[in-house]
Chains A and B, each alone.
Chain A
Amino acid sequence: EDQVTQSPEALRLQEGESSSLNCSYTVSGLRGLFWYRQDPGKGPEFLFTLYSAGEEKEKERLKATLTKKESFLHITAPKPEDSATYLCAVQGIMDTGRRALTFGSGTRLQVQP
């Protein structure tokens, strides 16, 4: 059974204070690891897909990295508008028939001005 654990549950940063969110996963053959952003009252919005260890993706102040056991979402010099819940999800090779992702419970990020 695929499992995804995210830490910390909540993180409060000052504007400009860089940090990282962690996503640890267990999957029988990784097809892809996904990061989503969810604003209050809205559905999750896609950020990145990572496929293999060593891969990195960047978007504005966000950079996602992947190892064989975990992924990090690095936030550089965050701004208040980066405040959101960040969700990590995996799809295992055995899941492709299911076509569904297994999600973690998310990290709630608050960036204070």
Chain B
Amino acid sequence: DVKVTQSSRYLVKRTGEKVFLECVQDMDHENMFWYRQDPGLGLRLIYFSYDVKMKEKGDIPEGYSVSREKKERFSLILESASTNQTSMYLCASSLGLFNEKLFFGSGTQLSVL
């Protein structure tokens, strides 16, 4: 069965900390995405990557960076966490240009205090 695994289900961090969210997929997918999900706002795209070492900004990239050193792994980095980054973070992957189907991880609920 296809799988997208996010390293942590819950995280609590302090303001100003550097935070790493890890995501691994086992489907050999080209495309990987980071979304955040907030009540009433839906899923908003932070960054995506369509190849190793390639990255593109999504709709809300400010305060975030990403790394994709290997095809199966896509990391989201909060350089200096702030309280407005408290959210559910969802990683997804898909195959090909017209990604017919996104496969999502179970999410990381991040709280920044």
Contact = CB atoms under 8 A, between A and B. Distances in A.
Interface of A: 4, 9, 31-32, 34, 36, 41-46, 49, 87, 89, 91, 96, 98-106
A46 B92 CA distance: 11
A43 B105 contact: yes
Contact of B50 (A34, A43, A99, A105): A99
A4 B59 CA distance: 15
B42 A87 contact: yes
Nearest to A2: B59
A32 to B, nearest CB: 7
A90 to B, nearest CB: 12
Given A42-B106, A43-B106, A44-B104, A31 B58 contact: no
Interface of B: 4, 31, 33, 35, 40-45, 48, 50, 56, 58, 90, 92, 94, 97-107
Contacts of B90: 43-44
B107 A43 contact: yes
B102 A32 contact: no
Contact of A103 (B40, B42, B97): B42
A11 to B, nearest CB: 16
Contact of A46 (B41, B58, B101, B106): B101
A91 B58 CA distance: 14
A105 B41 contact: yes
A103 B99 CA distance: 14
A32 B99 CA distance: 10
A14 B101 CA distance: 31
A103 B43 contact: yes
Contacts of B94: 99
B96 to A, nearest CB: 8
The listed residue with most A CB atoms (<10 A of its CB), out of B35, B42, B90, B104, is B42
